[in-house]
């Protein structure tokens, strides 16, 4: 049963990423700094993950935030990238979980709106 739940979760994340690519309008609930922080942390988690499910979630979540940042002013994104503090350990895990949850929330909203 756990494998089925994990597979369903991954399908939902993939749907979220595809929907975020198709819906190019930037969301303004988070700041550019928030989106950059999510991109940086989830990318790092994806690179360092020792198991495939975590790597997939991290990479798909990073793709979601990359899509959000694509609609932002490039100079603002560059400045936010340069100003990001180093994050590691428990703090990084907390950020990763919060960012993944936001991505899942966006997916849920898109699904609800498409019905």
Q: pLDDT-based confidence at 21, cuts 50/70/90?
A: very low
For residue 12, pLDDT over 90 is answered with no
pTM of the model: 0.72
Residue 31 near residue 73 (C-beta atoms within 8 A): no
Q: What are the helix (H) ranges across the chain?
A: 2-22, 32-48, 52-70, 74-82, 89-113
> Higher-confidence residue: 99 or 26?
99
| Mean per-residue pLDDT, 32-44 | 97
Cβ of 78: how many Cβ atoms within 10 Å? 12
Query: pLDDT per residue over 56-113, tens digit each?
Result: 999 999 999 999 999 999 999 999 999 999 999 999 999 999 999 999 899 899 889 9
Q: How far apart are CA 115 and CA 113, in angstroms?
A: 6
Q: How far apart are CA 14 and CA 59, in angstroms?
A: 10
Residue 43 near residue 81 (C-beta atoms within 8 A): no
Report the pLDDT value the prediction gives residue 115, as an integer from 0 to 100. 87
Residue 92 near residue 4 (C-beta atoms within 8 A): no
């Amino acid at each position: 049963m756990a494998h089925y739940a994990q597979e369903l979760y991954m399908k939902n994340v993939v749907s979220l990423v595809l929907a975020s690519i198709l819906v190019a309008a930037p969301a303004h609930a988070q700041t550019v700094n928030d989106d950059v922080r999510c991109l940086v942390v989830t990318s790092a988690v994806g690179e360092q993950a020792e198991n495939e499910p975590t790597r997939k979630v991290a990479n798909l979540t990073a793709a979601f935030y990359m899509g959000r940042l694509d609609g932002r002013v490039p100079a603002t994104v560059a400045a936010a990238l340069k100003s990001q503090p180093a994050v590691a350990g428990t703090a990084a895990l907390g950020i990763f979980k919060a960012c993944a949850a936001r991505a899942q929330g966006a997916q849920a909203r898109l699904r609800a709106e498409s019905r």
